[in-house]
Amino acid sequence: MSSETDREEMDMLAAEYALRLLEGEDLARANALMNSDQDFVRAVEGWTMRLTSLAEDLAPVDPAPSVKRALMRRMFPAMQPTKSFWDRVGPWLGVATAASVALAAALAWQVFSVSVRSPGPLYTAEIASDTNDFRVVAVVDKTANEVFLTRTAGAAPEGRILQVWAHGEGAPAQSVGLWPEGASVRLVLPPEIAAVEGTLTLGVSEEPPGGSPTDAPTGRVFGTADIPNVSVN
Amino acid sequence: MLFNHEERRIILENNEIETLIGRLALGDTAAFGRLYDLTSGKLFAVCLRVLGQRASAEDAMQDSFVKIWKNADRYRVNGYSPMSWLITIARNTAIDRLRATRPETDLGRYVEFLPAAGLNPEQSAVAASEAARLADCFAELEEDSRAAITGAYLQGDSYKDLSARFGVPLNTMRTWLRRGLMSLRECMSR
């Protein structure tokens, strides 16, 4: 694909794909290119961005207020009973190796044994990406209000670091701290996070060195884990 | 790079939307409510334009927000295109709904979310500045090309629909439309 005509043909196919005009063989060809050709992907992305301005000129139309209520109810059923810890952990226990279960137990024990002063609860959770290329075991120690995290699979891409985030139910997410290197990190929970009661959500993202330049993740969020029934020590 | 007032306003708004999408990926429901308030008017307008009926447009918009929530972790901050990402999801969701009502159409699988790590920030900046010129360039197009491209983008027409609407053979339709796209690209990169 080097001649001018081929490039031209490629770019037109990308535009047609972005417009969703293609059918049959042409669509199959474009779908295959989407999976194999980065130049084609970029061309589709470029056309998608250009064509969006056709929609940007549309005057906004407010949907009925009941639509937002219905959506929020559908997505975050307020009265939904909190899932139990084991329901939550179940899915990953099914695929996790015995070793990683043992690791979580060992980490919990380690954390537990160093914090001998009036021991508060310990909570463990695993943050795993959808594709399982990244996994972190987290132990929240309510005695010291610290979280201890260990990577069991994957790492930040070259030249990037990890950042840990947390929030309570319905509360804004905030940074817990940076994880620039190493297989484990111990971070002190910020006061707002230490005060969370009920479901505590932890997440890990990859960010530029120095952390996210904003107060939210800017890179890939590998995954999150909800720890239900957290109580303040 | 220097920005004029309008460009700065758009950049600030994009920054807020990008920040909210980043928070969505962490399961931040408050950020979801705010993102809905900021963008539902635009996304509803897109769905309404494609589907033409309030009820099904509302369903499509709801489905779009569910997808946005579930796929926020795929979005990569680049400073330029958060609205374009959201609008693309809404448009595709609405078109899927439209086409599902026509059993005879088989338009096959479509890669709904662009694979991550496509455009780098410079490429995004170029695409964004080209997009800013689209309206003027669009006005320069011949009437038929313009109607065909809008029909495809905002009404979800396929080549088959368009050739029926314009009463020309499918290949002729394709040649017309491609000619329009080429002049559009040529004009935007000027």
- List, for residues B160-189, the tens digit of each pLDDT value: 889 999 999 999 999 999 999 999 988 887
Read off φ and ψ for residue B152, nearest 5 degrees: -70, -45
Q: Which of B27, B132, B158 sits opposite A21 (nearest CB)?
A: B158
Q: Is the pLDDT of residue B45 over 60?
A: yes
How does residue A114 score in pLDDT terms, banded at 50, 70 and 90? low
Q: Are residues A183 and A145 in the same domain?
A: yes
Q: Are residues A73 and A100 in the same domain?
A: no
Q: Is the pLDDT of residue B108 over 70?
A: no
- Percent helix, strand and coil across chain A, each to the nearest 5: 40, 25, 35
The residue from A78, A95, A124 where one domain ends is A78
Which tops the pLDDT comparison, B9 or B47? B47
- List, for residues B47-73, the tens digit of each pLDDT value: 999 999 999 999 999 999 999 998 888
Q: Is the pLDDT of residue B133 over 70?
A: yes
Which residues are bridge partners to A166 per DSSP? A174, A202
Chain Cα centroid distance, residue B133: 16
Average pLDDT of span B80-91: 85
Read off φ and ψ for residue A147, nearest 5 degrees: -120, 135
Segment among A118-122, A134-138, B89-93, B102-106 with least mean pLDDT: B102-106
Q: Are residues A149 and A179 in the same domain?
A: yes
d(C-alpha A136, C-alpha A120), whole Å: 22
Q: Return the HEC string of B111-171.
A: CCCCCCCCCCHHHHHHHHHHHHCHHHHHHHCCHHHHHHHHHHHHHCCCHHHHHHHHCCCHH
Grouping H, G, I as helix, E, B as strand and the rest as coil, residue A103 is helix
pTM of the prediction? 0.71
d(C-alpha B49, C-alpha B94), whole Å: 9
What pLDDT, on a 0 to 100 scale, did the predictor assign at position B139? 84
Q: Are residues A12 and A62 in the same domain?
A: yes
How does residue A85 score in pLDDT terms, banded at 50, 70 and 90? very low
Count how many domains chain A has: 2
Q: Is the pLDDT of residue A118 over 90?
A: no
Count contacts between A and B (CB, < 8 Å).
219
CATH number of the domain enclosing A123: 2.60.40
Q: Are residues A107 and A71 in the same domain?
A: no
What pLDDT, on a 0 to 100 scale, did the predictor assign at position A187? 93
Q: Is the pLDDT of residue B14 over 60?
A: yes
Which tops the pLDDT comparison, B164 or B118? B164
Structure tokens that stand for A156 in this block: 């930040």
Interchain contact, B26 vs A16, CB within 8 Å: no
Average pLDDT of span B20-33: 90
Q: Which residue out of A9, A40, A71 would a mutagenesis test of the B interface target, given it has the greatest number of B Cβ atoms within 10 Å?
A: A71
Tell me the CATH class for B1-117.
Answer: mainly alpha
Interchain contact, A60 vs B42, CB within 8 Å: yes
The hierarchical CATH code for the domain B133-190 is 1.10.10.10
d(C-alpha A167, C-alpha A203), whole Å: 9
Q: Which of A48, A51, A59 sits opposite B114 (nearest CB)?
A: A48
Interchain contact, A60 vs B153, CB within 8 Å: no
Alpha helices in A81-150 (DSSP H): 85-95, 98-114
First vs last Cα of chain A: how many Å apart? 64
d(C-alpha B187, C-alpha B138), whole Å: 9
Q: Which strand (E) or helix (H) includes residue A229? A: strand A221-230
Q: Is the pLDDT of residue A57 over 60?
A: yes
What pLDDT, on a 0 to 100 scale, did the predictor assign at position A194? 92
> What strand order describes the sheet that includes A174-179?
A174-179, A161-168, A198-207, A221-230
Q: Is the pLDDT of residue A87 over 50?
A: no
First vs last Cα of chain B: how many Å apart? 19
**Domain locations in chain B?**
1-117, 133-190
Q: Is the pLDDT of residue A109 over 50?
A: yes
Q: Work out the mean pLDDT of chain B and round it to a whole number.
A: 82
The residue from A28, A46, A78 where one domain ends is A78
Q: Are residues A178 and A215 in the same domain?
A: yes
Q: Are residues A55 and A102 in the same domain?
A: no
Q: Are residues A104 and A40 in the same domain?
A: no
Q: Tell me which residue range forms the domain holding A151.
A: 85-230
Structure tokens that stand for A209 in this block: 């060195």
Segment among A12-16, A64-68, A74-78, B91-95 with least mean pLDDT: A74-78
Interchain contact, A217 vs B22, CB within 8 Å: yes
Q: Is the pLDDT of residue B106 over 60?
A: no
Q: Are residues A192 and A121 in the same domain?
A: yes
What pLDDT, on a 0 to 100 scale, did the predictor assign at position A80? 43
Q: Are residues A73 and A168 in the same domain?
A: no
CB A206 within 8 A of CB A178: no
Percentage of chain B modeled with pLDDT above 90:
39
